[in-house]
Structure 1
C-alpha cells in the first residue's frame, strides 16, 4: 500500500479538482493521498467526501511558501486541522497577499502594452488561490507567449520585467508555527530548494521530515536525504507534486510515493506535537 503525499488541485494552481484527484488515485492503486495546495486547505473537505466512496485515506496537508536569501523554500504542513483559527488567519493573509501581487503583476504587464485583464487571470484561478501560473495561462490565451514556461522566462519569473516579490515569510518561523499548531513540518523537494547547512538550521527550529522522493530528485539525492533523515531522526516522505495531467515541470500522480506506513508515522508525530 502506497501514498502520494504532495498533490495540487484546482483549489490552488492544479488542473484537476479534488474529486478527480481521488478518482485518479484509485486508478493508480494508491491507499492514501495528501492534498497539499499552495497556502489553502479548501480542497480537502471535497477530497475526503469523494475518498469515502472508494476507501481512500486523505491526509490533511498544505504547502506553505517561505523565502530565505532570495530563495523560495516550500514547507509542507501535515496533520494541521483545516479549521484551526490561527492557521486560517495566516492562510487568509497569504491569499490576500497573492491577490495583491497578481494585481501588481497585471498592472506591470499592462504598462508594457500587453492587453491582459485581472478578470482574465481570476477566470483561470477559479475559486482557488491565485498565482503566477494563472497569469501565465492568461498570457498564453491571448497569444503573447506559446507556453506557461515562456511566460515565466519572458515576463513574470524572478528578475523579469513584470515580476513582483511575494509576501516574505521565513522558513524558520513557518516551521515553528506548524509545530505550535500541532502539525508536522516537512521540507518540500530539498534537492531544488536549499543546502544541508540550512536544513540543519530548520532541524534546530523543529523540522520533522524531508521530502526524500520527488520527481525532480535523482536516486543519488534520495540516498543522500535518506541518510540525513537517519542521521537527524527525521521522517522521509514523498510525493509527485502533481499539478494535473500533462502539466509541465511536475510529476504524474503516484510517480513519487511512499509506503502507507509513512501516513501512520505522520499522524503519530502530530499526536506527539499536540501533547
Structure 2
C-alpha cells in the first residue's frame, strides 16, 4: 500500500541489490515493490547489471513493469558524481566490458581505503568486507563502502553505519579515497551507446550547484533525479526549476539499499516515486536512441 492506494501507477527508479551494495537480492526487491503496490521499479546497481535478469524475471511473475538500469560512478570537479542509466541493454557486450573496467577501479579504491584504515590502526581485511553472510560474490557483482561500514560497526570501530561514514568513509573523512574515474559525459555516452537514457543522480549530495550546471551542460543527460531521500523540499524545488531551465525530465527514487545495522539506507523502497507518464517518456527516449544507433 502507498498513500492508501493499492497498485497505483507509481515507480521507484533507484534501488540497489546484493549485486552491488544492497542488502536484498534483486528478486526480493521486486517482491517488496509488489507488496507495496508499486506499478514498476528500476534496478540501478553500482557499475553492474548483474542483477537485472533476475529482477526482470521476478517482475514478470509479479506483474510489475521493470526498467533495466545502472548507476555509474564518475568524477568531476573534485567530487564523485553518479549517473543513472535507464533502459540500458544488459546484454550489450561493449557496455559490459566498460562496466567491468569500472569495477576494477572500484577494487583499486577499496584496496586504497583499506590501506588508509590500516594506517589509522583500523584492522579490517578485504576478505571480511567481501564476506556477506557466507555468500560469495557472483560474477559481475561489486563491493562498496557500505560493506566496509558493516565490518567497521561489527568490529567496534564505529557506532553505526552513519558513524562509519562520518569517521572514515565519506568524502573528506579520514580514510576516503577516490581514484581517477571516467567523467559524467563519458558515462552518459556509454549509457546512450547501450541504448539507455542518462539521468543525473541526487544532485543535492554534491553540494555545488555550479558543478551540477557544468555536468548538465557537458554530459547532456535527459533528466535530473529531483526527489531523493537526501533532498529536502527546498532542494526539490531548486532542481525542478533547474530541470525546467535545461528542458530535462524529473525523476525520483528511494536509493533503497535495504536495512543495515537496524536502519534503512537511504530511503524506504517506494517512498520516492514517479508516475507512469514519466517512465513512458524515458522509455520513448530510449527507443529513439536505439533507432539512431541502428
TM-score normalised according to structure 1 size = 0.92
Report what 2:202 is aligned to.
Answer: 189
Give 1:200 shift.
5.3
Give 1:154 shift.
2.1
Report what 1:253 is aligned to.
Answer: 269
Gap change, CA 1:183 and 1:141, over 3 Å in 2: same
- 2:256–2:264: 8 Å Cα contact kept in structure 1? no
Report what 2:165 is aligned to.
Answer: 152
- 2:258–2:265: 8 Å Cα contact kept in structure 1? no
4+ residue stretches of structure 1 with deviation over 6 A? none
Mapped to 2, the partners of 1:232 and 1:150 lie a distance apart of: 37
Mapped to 2, the partners of 1:208 and 1:106 lie a distance apart of: 36
Report what 1:115 is aligned to.
Answer: 123
In the alignment of these two chains, the number of paired residues is 275
Give 1:197 shift.
6.0
Q: Match of 1:153, SS?
A: helix
- 2:240–2:250: 8 Å Cα contact kept in structure 1? yes
Report what 1:37 is aligned to.
Answer: 45
Q: Match of 1:6, SS?
A: coil
Root-mean-square deviation (Å): 2.0
- 1:79–1:183: 8 Å Cα contact kept in structure 2? yes
Gap change, CA 1:220 and 1:112, over 3 Å in 2: closer
Structure 1 unaligned blocks of 5 or more:
none
Q: Match of 1:121, SS?
A: helix
Q: Match of 1:53, SS?
A: helix
Q: Does 1:207 align with 2:221?
A: yes
What whole-Å deviation, never above 9, does each CA across 1:219-252 have from its counterpart, x for those lacking one?
Answer: 3332332233333321111111111135455110
TM-score normalised according to structure 2 size = 0.86
Decide which of 160, 167, 192 is 1:179's aligned counterpart: 192
Mapped to 2, the partners of 1:197 and 1:135 lie a distance apart of: 29
Mapped to 1, the partners of 2:19 and 2:215 lie a distance apart of: 31
Mapped to 1, the partners of 2:282 and 2:195 lie a distance apart of: 11
Gap change, CA 1:221 and 1:142, over 3 Å in 2: closer
